[in-house]
Structure 1
Amino acid sequence: MTSKRTASYLTTLLASLSLMAGTTTGFAEEPQAPSAEPRHGMAMHGETKYPDGFAHFDYVNPDAPKGGSVKMAVVANGYDSFNPFDIRGIAAAGINTYLYDTLLESSDDEPFSAYGLIAESIETPEDRSYVIFNLREQARFHDGQPITAEDVKFSFEILTTKGHPFFRNYYADVSKVTVESPRRVRFDFGDTSNRELPLILGQMPILPAHYWADREFGKNGLNPPLGSGPYRIGKFEAGRSIAYERVEDYWGKDLGVRKGRFNFDKIQYDYYNDDTVALEGFKAGSFDYRIETSAKNWATAYSGPRFTEGKIIAEAIEHHRPTGMQGFIFNTRRGVFKDARVREALAYGFDFEWANKNLFYGQYTRTDSYFENSDLASSALPEGRELEILEAYRDQLSEDVFTETYQPPEAGGQQGLRKNLRTAMELLKAAGYEIQDRKMTHVESGKPLAFEILLFQKSFERVVLPFKNTLAKLGVDVSVRLVDSNQYIQRVREFDFDMITQVLPQSDSPGNEQREYWHSANVNANGSRNYMGIADPVVDSLVQQVIQAPDREELVQRVRALDRVLLHGHYVIPHWHLAQDRVAYWSHLQRPEITPKNGSDLNNWWVKPE
């Protein structure tokens, strides 16, 4: 499970090295700086919704009964690690969500606001040049040891030096960490225009320094680590299942950010190699809750006596969170995709309308923005403040950015597809290609236009194979390789692919994570989410502007400008989106009456009392 706000993670190695050089040790006198009053929470822009001392979030049931269990399925080839913070290995499902608490907790019904969890209060000045977290006296690890400022400092240092590379990039603007007292820790920032930094530091999982003192961080394997969250690791079968048991005396259970949440006594994940087998297992009662990602399954598989009798409930729960971008991702590190005209041409070979009608039962809408389903998405032609932002880069951008509204190619039947293929042929010809011996060949190099699509979901072949067959009409040679999920993860981490299908999620409040997706510093950073290999100084500059946005209105305009430039870069062939969560569950489970804009969260559900 992912955090409520899409985690964001990177910047440059030099920045992270200078960051490390600035950390301090021991206790220190409070540096002179603008003063700030302690507060219970903070918003990225504007004011928080919930007041100091609030009893619970509006979208939970504060009287939800504790007890029972819930089982879920994971379709993957197992796991080999209990360390979700290390780039090596495949971590067990759920471990970050259930085992570790963070300094702050985000709400699901605001764009980006966070409230104290481990931190009782936060202090940050108007310019957000630093943040101080004052820790709760009652905050404890599962062994009873208190969570201290030294643990916070340790967590920051271990994650940014030995953890996944995204941590040191995510927190790269931190210049100094100072432990001021056992329950007070301060972070100073080198870039004071990064208004998001106090909030994303609050997302940092806090690890126990005393536990890791005599252990090597990246080599703990399947030894259950010490946490502080609402659950601890229970029974597990390596690579096949893992159960989390609710901590009865969990220190934070009565806080407003925890009331009515994490109600199950046991949460279990069982691993399946095949989604079809998992679906049948669900209907047979092998597990309790399933999120359906297949339109075909949703249209055809959720029927029968158990559904008509109400034993299993299937419902599409509407949400209002950004859906981000799903699509065919071009790896521009590969020579075949260096030319944007080639990437644009290949997009004309994907017939979404046919796929939606014949494969998806008309359930989806075509995606035309990286920030789909939100006010952050660009549309029409740029105007007003967005146009003003883009004008500064006019001599570095294609004229299309200013004169053409981005729209993924539409086929609308065989005649439309033929027209699209003629357009694709013209683009490829402009890029130096022509047909030779029935193969699309680059005239100068003599190399045929050929690439591989890497998949791990067999069900996606029904989408990819028609795309492959259409491109064959252009003389483009496409091969499809299906690998297991672990191999797929490793190859994607190392950018060892030509094309993949991938989801690029977004939040209501984009910020530092945009570096991870688009910044040139991450082109060769294994494990980053710059899957496309984007290295564009305009994109780099726009990302920095997004991070530095002073208010919500300016953030929206800067994100729209970034969105427009990315779309006209033709780094993806957009797929589709759905503003609903398709969930199915056995009727002994119950969910709150209110669904927040971010959608339903199983961690707010409970088992009905007998």
Structure 2
Amino acid sequence: MFAPWQASAEEAVKPAETPASATPSTTPPWRIGFSPLGTPKHGQAFDHFDYVNPDAPKGGRLRMASPITFDSFNVTLAGVRGIVEPGLARVYQNLMTSAQDEPNTYYGELAEALRYPDDMSWVSFRLNPKARWQDGQPVTPEDVVWSFDTLKANNIQQERYYHDVIKAQVSGPNEVTFSFSSKGNRELPLIVGQLIVQPKHWWLAKGPDGKPRNIAATSLEPPLGSGPYRVKTFEAGRSITYERVKDWWGAALPTARGMYNFDEIRYDYYANATQLPELFKTGSFDFRSENSASAWVQQYNIPAVKDGRIVKQEFRRATSGIMQAFGFNLRRAKFQDERVRQAFNLAYDFETQNRTMSFGLLERVNTYFFGLDIASKGLPEGKELALLQDIKDKVPPAVFTTPYANPVNGSDEAVRANLRKAFALLKDAGWEIRDGKLTNVASGEVMKVELLLQGEGIVRTVLPYQQSLKRLGVELILRTVDDSQYQTRVLNRDFDMIIYLQSQSNSPGNELRDFWGSAAADRPTSRNELGVKDAGVDALIERVIYAKDRDEQVAVVKALDRVMLAHNYVVPMFYSSVDRTLRWDRFGQPAALPALGYMGGFPDIWWYDEAKAAKIGTVEKEPAK
């Protein structure tokens, strides 16, 4: 039996209009899911995802807290202007939505089906005829085309991300087609499916003030979406409450059953992150992700944890690869010599810091894909070795002879040995100690470095590194700024070093151009904050994007990882292979959590459990003002 959102076999072969690159005899079939390098688990209609409780109760309230505030509801400008409230992801919808138990696999959300030719030169989406905006008007192909065009026109990051998508057009009743500039880029149907669709009629109308709305400007007018939640109330910079849309059009979708169960989700914002653990203990909010290993061990030995009113739970991280590091601004002359960057790495004593401050719970990051099986290791072999040999004139010779390894400190002897190596590298690069300060022999420049930090919470973590660099004669200045200043300075490349945090999916692709591509290095607002410009990296990025199967993709990603590491663009820091969470025991969770779900899929597949809430007998406190 076909679900309401899936076409029958008869309907599937009767498109309203056939794209130019297809003929009636070769028209591709409509599909309910897509995976660029694999086969979706659900090839036909299904009732719900395997990892949800389809009968989860609706109701209750969830209260969250964050140290990062917001100043805009305009998702078009996310990443380039203003700080957009992240909860808006539940107000809007995409053409497709991801499965949390299948790598890089998407199923229909606003679109009920998609089709594409073997050469991946275009993709068509057929919208669900039931899809509605929260004002009752239907979601149309014109909305999709307008959303795509305005996004590319107003967001330079997204314009680059969708660079190979040359046109979106209405191609039939309830159908939209995207045309691509090249063939064989298997990720393009997926990234088009990730498009946030916005209501053209709402944006082109006047706002409550009688003035035309402006998609190119930040805004705090609550938006009109098509998703399961809407903005109920907010106080700019302090709090926002989302309420569940009781008559949401998509509640019966197989990709939504058992999800979006809370009647209200509230976020409160605090400028001082250090106060959040104590506020959580008092009941000011319900759920906390604890990023400090020392706090995890020391700060929660309280009665509410011991008697079970507060649950401590770890979730294995499996959704993204992480590089967390001290990142150099490679545009600065003092960091353009790789030997200087190597010296900075030799001075980082992770082992002592992990032992004395984090109870040995952290791991040293040694790859740009930390936590994923696509990370490089050992020496290249097989397909990876062959493709590196194809571009051997563009990559460091060390990738063929020396596996990447971080320097190991942790003892006085190891620290002294590594500092000697660092001094030797710095001397070779033209630096020496004068009056206790590392000085460039040719220019007389003193090595003074500003580390730009987002808020006070990270300062304690970087103080040991500041002291280690001081032994090299380097003055490391810690500069803490608020969220808005931090974003502005990073986008304008106004920094020496930052805490570089870059996540990667298990199937990376087109976004790599913006992360590390040479064309993005000098473009303000790109995600190439480091300023990476390297012919070998560029060549490998293109090979990743046009990989023909999973084996080739994995081999190229490993080679890319290896080349990035060999250039010493960053000083890798640490990360944890688990997410450590605490929650007041008021919530239910599915019996089998999704293997790829962030923090067990919380909160979208969880629900408010009235019996548990009554049992713990804790009065919920209102957030501190």
Give the Cα–Cα distance (whole angstroms) in 2 for the partners of residues 551 and 274 of structure 1. 47
Give the alignment partner of residue 286 of structure 1, picking from 277, 284, 287: 284
How far off is 1:29 after superposition?
Answer: 7.1
The residue number in structure 1 matching 2:586 is: 588
The residue number in structure 2 matching 1:230 is: 228
Gaps of 5+ in 2: 1-15, 206-212, 612-625
Q: Deviations over 1:377-411 (max 9, x none)?
A: 11111111111111122222222121111011111
Give the alignment partner of residue 20 of structure 2, picking from 19, 27, 31: 31
The residue number in structure 1 matching 2:265 is: 267
How far off is 1:520 after superposition?
Answer: 1.1
Contact conserved, 2:76 with 2:215, CA < 8 A, in 1? no
Give the Cα–Cα distance (whole angstroms) in 2 for the partners of residues 190 and 556 of structure 1. 25
The residue number in structure 1 matching 2:620 is: none
The residue number in structure 2 matching 1:22 is: none
Matched AA of 1:156: F
How far off is 1:213 after superposition?
Answer: 1.3
Give the Cα–Cα distance (whole angstroms) in 2 for the partners of residues 51 and 191 of structure 1. 27
Give the alignment partner of residue 342 of structure 1, picking from 337, 340, 343: 340
SS at match of 1:466: helix
Matched AA of 1:114: Y
Cα distance change, pair 292–66 in 1 and its aligned pair in 2 (3 A): same
Matched AA of 1:249: D
The residue number in structure 1 matching 2:118 is: 126
Give the Cα–Cα distance (whole angstroms) in 2 for the partners of residues 572 and 32 of structure 1. 45
Q: Deviations over 1:344-389 (max 9, x none)?
A: 1110110000111011111011111101122211111111111111
Give the Cα–Cα distance (whole angstroms) in 2 for the partners of residues 431 and 193 of structure 1. 44
The residue number in structure 2 matching 1:558 is: 556
The residue number in structure 1 matching 2:361 is: 363
Stretch of structure 1 that moved more, 317-326 or 131-140: 317-326
Contact conserved, 1:323 with 1:579, CA < 8 A, in 2? no
Stretch of structure 1 that moved more, 257-266 or 186-195: 186-195
The residue number in structure 2 matching 1:56 is: 48
The residue number in structure 1 matching 2:569 is: 571
The residue number in structure 1 matching 2:328 is: 330
Contact conserved, 2:103 with 2:596, CA < 8 A, in 1? no
Give the Cα–Cα distance (whole angstroms) in 2 for the partners of residues 581 and 79 of structure 1. 24
Give the Cα–Cα distance (whole angstroms) in 2 for the partners of residues 274 and 261 of structure 1. 32
How far off is 1:157 after superposition?
Answer: 0.2
Question: Mapping of 1:64-463 within 5 angstroms?
Answer: 64-76=56-68, 78-86=69-77, 87-95=80-88, 97-162=89-154, 164-214=155-205, 215-219=213-217, 221-463=219-461
SS at match of 2:166: strand
Matched AA of 1:243: T
SS at match of 1:70: strand
Give the Cα–Cα distance (whole angstroms) in 1 for the partners of residues 239 and 518 of structure 2. 39
Give the Cα–Cα distance (whole angstroms) in 2 for the partners of residues 302 and 258 of structure 1. 35
Contact conserved, 1:311 with 1:587, CA < 8 A, in 2? yes
Contact conserved, 1:336 with 1:450, CA < 8 A, in 2? no
SS at match of 1:516: helix
Matched AA of 2:181: G
**Paired residues, number:** 581
Give the Cα–Cα distance (whole angstroms) in 2 for the partners of residues 273 and 385 of structure 1. 49
Stretch of structure 1 that moved more, 80-89 or 382-391: 80-89
SS at match of 1:451: strand
Give the Cα–Cα distance (whole angstroms) in 2 for the partners of residues 167 and 473 of structure 1. 43
- So what's the TM-score if we normalise by structure 1? 0.93
Stretch of structure 1 that moved more, 391-400 or 571-580: 391-400
SS at match of 1:63: coil
Matched AA of 1:210: H
Give the Cα–Cα distance (whole angstroms) in 2 for the partners of residues 252 and 106 of structure 1. 15
Give the Cα–Cα distance (whole angstroms) in 2 for the partners of residues 502 and 262 of structure 1. 32
Let me know the Cα RMSD of the aligned residues: 1.4
Give the Cα–Cα distance (whole angstroms) in 2 for the partners of residues 29 and 109 of structure 1. 33
How far off is 1:249 after superposition?
Answer: 0.8
The residue number in structure 1 matching 2:485 is: 487
Contact conserved, 1:378 with 1:560, CA < 8 A, in 2? yes
Cα distance change, pair 39–276 in 1 and its aligned pair in 2 (3 A): same
Tell whether 2:443 aligns with 1:468: no
Give the Cα–Cα distance (whole angstroms) in 1 for the partners of residues 218 and 517 of structure 2. 32
SS at match of 1:458: coil
Give the Cα–Cα distance (whole angstroms) in 2 for the partners of residues 340 and 243 of structure 1. 48
Cα distance change, pair 159–507 in 1 and its aligned pair in 2 (3 A): same
Matched AA of 1:406: Y
The residue number in structure 2 matching 1:10 is: none
Contact conserved, 2:157 with 2:527, CA < 8 A, in 1? no
Contact conserved, 1:102 with 1:203, CA < 8 A, in 2? yes
SS at match of 2:93: coil
Contact conserved, 2:130 with 2:249, CA < 8 A, in 1? yes
Give the Cα–Cα distance (whole angstroms) in 2 for the partners of residues 398 and 53 of structure 1. 50
Contact conserved, 1:28 with 1:179, CA < 8 A, in 2? no
Give the Cα–Cα distance (whole angstroms) in 2 for the partners of residues 532 and 440 of structure 1. 23
Give the alignment partner of residue 598 of structure 1, picking from 591, 596, 605: 596
Cα distance change, pair 403–134 in 1 and its aligned pair in 2 (3 A): same
How far off is 1:320 after superposition?
Answer: 2.4
Give the Cα–Cα distance (whole angstroms) in 1 for the partners of residues 234 and 57 of structure 2. 26
The residue number in structure 2 matching 1:607 is: 608
Q: Deviations over 1:494-513 (max 9, x none)?
A: 11111011211011110111
Cα distance change, pair 91–321 in 1 and its aligned pair in 2 (3 A): closer
Q: Deviations over 1:509-544 (max 9, x none)?
A: 101111111011111222222111001111111111
How far off is 1:181 after superposition?
Answer: 2.2
How far off is 1:339 after superposition?
Answer: 0.9
How far off is 1:463 after superposition?
Answer: 2.4
Matched AA of 1:209: K
The residue number in structure 1 matching 2:621 is: none
Contact conserved, 2:31 with 2:43, CA < 8 A, in 1? no
Give the Cα–Cα distance (whole angstroms) in 2 for the partners of residues 260 and 408 of structure 1. 45
Matched AA of 2:151: L
SS at match of 2:457: helix
Contact conserved, 1:165 with 1:525, CA < 8 A, in 2? no
How far off is 1:335 after superposition?
Answer: 1.2
Q: Deviations over 1:244-279 (max 9, x none)?
A: 110011111111100111100001100111122222
The residue number in structure 2 matching 1:536 is: 534
- So what's the TM-score if we normalise by structure 2? 0.91
Gaps of 5+ in 1: 1-26
SS at match of 1:603: coil
Matched AA of 2:160: N
Stretch of structure 1 that moved more, 327-336 or 271-280: 271-280
Stretch of structure 1 that moved more, 419-428 or 318-327: 318-327
Contact conserved, 1:93 with 1:269, CA < 8 A, in 2? no
Contact conserved, 1:323 with 1:578, CA < 8 A, in 2? no
Matched AA of 1:199: L
Stretch of structure 1 that moved more, 519-528 or 147-156: 519-528
The residue number in structure 1 matching 2:5 is: none
The residue number in structure 1 matching 2:37 is: 45
Matched AA of 2:128: R
